[in-house]
Amino acid sequence: MTVVLALNLLAMLPPTAAAQPASTVRISVNTVQGLREAIAQSNLNPAQGFEISVATNLTLTEFNDSGAALPPIRGILGLTGPGSLAGGGPGSGFRLLTIEAGGALALNSIMLTNFHANGDGGVIRAEPGSEFSIFFSSFTHSGASGAGGAIYATGALSAEIDSARFEHCTAMRGGAVALLSAQTQSSQVLTIGSSDFLHNSAGSGGALYLEGSVNVEENRFVSNMATTLGGAIDLRGSGGAAIIANRFDGNRASVFGCAANIDLAAQSQPARLIGNSVMGADCDNVLFENPSGGIYYLHNTAVVSRDNRVIDSTARVVQRGNISSAEPQPRRPKLLCADFGSGAFQSQGGNIATDASCVLDHPTDLITEAPGLQPTAEGLLALTTTSPAIDRGAAGLVSIGDDPDSAQILPCSYRDGRGLGRPQDGNGDGIFECDSGAWEWQGGPDIGAAQSGIYYDPLRSGEGHFLELIGDGRAVLSTFSYGPEGGMAWFIGVGQVVGNSVVVDALLSTRGGVFGAAFDETAIERFDVGGASLVFPTCQATDRPGHFAFGHAANN
């Protein structure tokens, strides 16, 4: 067992006070006993960070009749590959580990397989007051007799899952993941992003069972199954969740909600469904079931090809900029939407549908048999050159809901499902308007190093951007503007060059600094303010000015 000092993996933990050690001990292990001893050492030093590298593939057995293969996590611990950890298979009755209150776990680039637990959490169980983050790791062939076939968390202070893979996991609720909110935790950070959920199954929530304010963004849900509700997602609780830019394909629910069942508490904040691409060929009932709580349904593209519907709802559904298509099936009454006489559906315009059942009565809505969709090899629903969806949506910020004083948003967000900056000027009229649906038509040629430069907004003195394309499809963006309290504010991030746009998903800012002798480096805090895109309609921005769009971070 080798021990050195380091600082890296644990920096991935969410920035709470409990999860920021002053230094980190790095340990490499190649035996089960060495792994257990390293965790025990971490538990004896809870303020010290420990990063454990598993150097080989290990098969674990139950530890001290605890229902887990490893000691509980009580300190600040990172666990990484290149090795893998395997459990005892079906019927073995133990998970990998439990994170206790005050404990923090970061996983990175490790494969976890074949764990099967009694109760909740087939691989990981996170207790109230714990924290965890997961990056580039896989959970396969695991299950729980309760909730969360791979991961179960209730009342966690923070939970972040990014670039992970969950495949063939099973449970009663949340075949892959179950995240439950504690009523006392109003500042929880719960995010699931850029991950794959494949062939998972459960009684409800074939892939995810979620409560409360969870951000689910840019994931891929394929062939997940629920025997009751929510083939991919079962969303419950007090509302405030966001389901953004995900891909749903081939998910099934035996009762309702092949993509998602959204059943929120009465009078709760509606769920936000924005920019999702949904293919429902294998669904026998409805893609989105919404009996309670309401939905803001914005710029989604959904296609059904059997005798099913896109949305069933007796709670309020606000629609803007969506494409709902039943092509090439013959039209049937109530094929796309059903409100069962509740009057649930409200249109704010820019919608396209192949029948009138979604109550699309805004002057900018369109009922047509030809929405102009074309599936891509990546499973997205692209627009054709003649699609009426191009530039059909909003050109700026809008209010969603009834309160005219509510915060305004760009309804199509700052990028589409494939990562292209939006809105674009697809028809060349000089106006940057959101396209209907989840896909944005590219309104200019691809950009390159020539677009590096300094850009100012002539209509907003003191605002602008420094942009440098640094190669390998990446760019550095520094944006200067004003803060909500007045005074200058700077945001910086590294993003991707996508087509004719630069897209940065994490713009960072700082706070806590003061000028002069009182400057204290330890008081500086870096935080995520949101994402942004710069869109170039031509290679010469002076001929046709470009467009900047910003979306604030979910927890900011």
223, part of any domain: no
Q: For residues 8-27, give the mean pLDDT.
A: 62
Residue 520 or 331, more confident: 520
Give the pair of three-digit tokens for residue 209. Answer: 């069972």
9, part of any domain: yes
Final residue of a structural domain among 149, 167, 185: 167
11, part of any domain: yes
Phi, psi of 122 (to 5 degrees): -65, -35
User: Could you tell me the pLDDT band of residue 328, with boundaries at 50, 70 and 90?
Assistant: low
12, part of any domain: yes
230, part of any domain: no
Region of poorest pLDDT, from 27-31, 34-38, 57-61, 426-430: 426-430
Rounded mean pLDDT of the chain?
90
DSSP E strands, 60-198: 76-80, 84-86, 97-99, 104-108, 111-113, 116-117, 124-126, 131-135, 138-140, 143-144, 151-154, 158-162, 165-167, 170-173, 177-180, 189-193, 196-198
User: Could you tell me the pLDDT band of residue 377, with boundaries at 50, 70 and 90?
Assistant: confident
The pLDDT of residue 15 is 46
Question: Model-level pTM?
Answer: 0.92
214, part of any domain: no
Per-residue pLDDT at 553 exceeds 80: no
Q: For residues 179-185, give the mean pLDDT.
A: 65
The pLDDT of residue 341 is 84
**Highest mean pLDDT pick, 166-180, 296-310, 401-415:** 166-180
Per-residue pLDDT at 32 exceeds 70: yes
Per-residue pLDDT at 5 exceeds 50: no
538, part of any domain: yes
The pLDDT of residue 305 is 78
Distance CA 527, CA 295 (A): 29
| Reduced DSSP (H G I as helix, E B as strand, rest coil) percent helix, strand, coil of the chain, to 5 | 5, 45, 50
DSSP 3-state of 513: coil
What's the domain range around 44?
Answer: 1-167
Domains: count for the chain: 2
Q: For residues 209-225, give the mean pLDDT.
A: 95
78, part of any domain: yes
Final residue of a structural domain among 167, 186, 217: 167
Final residue of a structural domain among 167, 183, 202: 167
Distance CA 51, CA 149 (A): 25
The pLDDT of residue 546 is 86
Give the pair of three-digit tokens for residue 416. Answer: 């589409």
Per-residue pLDDT at 125 exceeds 90: yes
The pLDDT of residue 3 is 36
pLDDT in tens, 127-155: 999 999 999 999 999 999 999 999 999 99
pLDDT in tens, 265-282: 988 889 999 999 999 888
Give the pair of three-digit tokens for residue 445. Answer: 């040629």
